[in-house]
Amino acid sequence: MSGSTEHRLPSTESSKEARARHGYSPAVQTCARELGVDLAQVVGTGEGGRVTKKDPAVEAFASTRSQPNASPAPVKPVSAATDEELIPLTPMRRSIAGHMVQSRRDAPQVTSVAEADFTNIARFREAKKDAFRQCAGVALTFLPFIVKATAHVLPEFPILNARWSDDGIRVWKANHLGIAVALPEGLAVPVLRSPGTLSIAGIARRIATMVRRAQEGRLLPKEVMGSTFTVKNFGADGILIGAPILNPPEVGILGVGSIGKRAVVLSDPNGDSIGIRVRGYLCLSYDHRAIDGAVAGAFLKRLDSTLESFQSGQDLWADPDL
């Protein structure tokens, strides 16, 4: 049996009839003759299955005909014993996986990013961090300032403190921020309730307690339930920018990138100059069903201006412990 007969596909119509039915162009027919291809046996990859002159299916079919007895290259088996290791799924990992799949499946998510100026906060923190650790017993990081500013700005954008439902967008009246805590085996999100009523020092202490309890596996169910918006500080791991996934049923999550000194262009009435500022990226992921890009942009701009306006002991930032 010849090679051309061996690889011929069954057909109920002649090649001439197939060409007429598919309307092959003269260029395609010429190419097929040169390659020795029967177009009736080619399934085109063009629109509606149409065969075109550049269709790779033509040359691919010609190649299979030219080597009718060629065997496929052997596939080297992968030995699970030597080339891979199976890591059993813990209950926490299964829960996180299910939660994240649900989040991506249920909500169309978009991430907007803004660069914020932390210079004033950085200078204050550098001057106070040693004394604060001695007094409070915990570190004074950037996170309490970000949480305080977020809790202050969020009521101005209630649509971000909400959840989607088939009946409409349900806006929470209270603000309870989930604080994402990285653990060796996964992630926990304990809830900081009513952070707007707390001082910077109070937020720092509460977060430190939450992190410690999470790391020790002592969080109670009620401590990880009821968040209305989440803050994730992936900058602590040196990550510059990220696109955090929503914590359902919330419609917004704020990711904070690495904060550090950067050279930036400074403008004043005398012209432009290069200066050193402490800056970091604010990454807001949101449910696009409920929130438009303009709202996300306005929220980030307002959050940036709040952080940049930091003045020790004044207004929002008044704190008897600092």
Q: Name the catalytic one among 22, 99, 288, 319.
A: 288
Please give the model's pTM, rounded to 2 decimal places.
0.72
Active-site residue flag, 130: no
Q: E-assigned strands of the chain?
A: 109-117, 162-165, 168-171, 176-179, 181-183, 186-188, 191-193, 229-232, 252-256, 260-268, 271-287
pLDDT tens per residue, range 163-221:
999 999 999 999 999 999 999 888 899 999 999 999 999 999 999 999 999 999 999 99
Task: Determine the Cα–Cα distance for residues 105 and 230; give it in Å rounded to an integer.
Answer: 19
What residues contact 94, with CB distance under 8 A and at least 6 apart? none
> In this model, does residue 226 exceed pLDDT 60?
yes
CA–CA gap between residue 93 and residue 104 (Å, rounded): 17
309 SS3 class = coil
Per the document, the length of the chain is 322
In sequence order, which residues have a C-beta less than 8 Å from that of residue 152 and are 6 or more positions away?
196, 306, 316
Statement: residue 30 has pLDDT above 80: no
The mean-pLDDT minimum among 54-68, 253-267, 275-289 falls in: 54-68
Is residue 300 over pLDDT 80?
yes
What does the alpha-carbon distance between residue 126 and residue 114 come to, in Å, rounded to a whole number?
Answer: 24
Q: Please pick, among 292, 304, 315, 319, the residue that the annotation labels catalytic.
A: 292
Q: Is residue 249 reached through a cis peptide bond, with omega within 30 degrees of 0 on the bond before it?
A: yes
- The answer, yes or no, to whether residue 13 has pLDDT greater than 60, is no
Cα 76 → chain centroid: 36
Q: Is 319 a catalytic residue?
A: no
99 pLDDT band (50/70/90 cuts)? confident
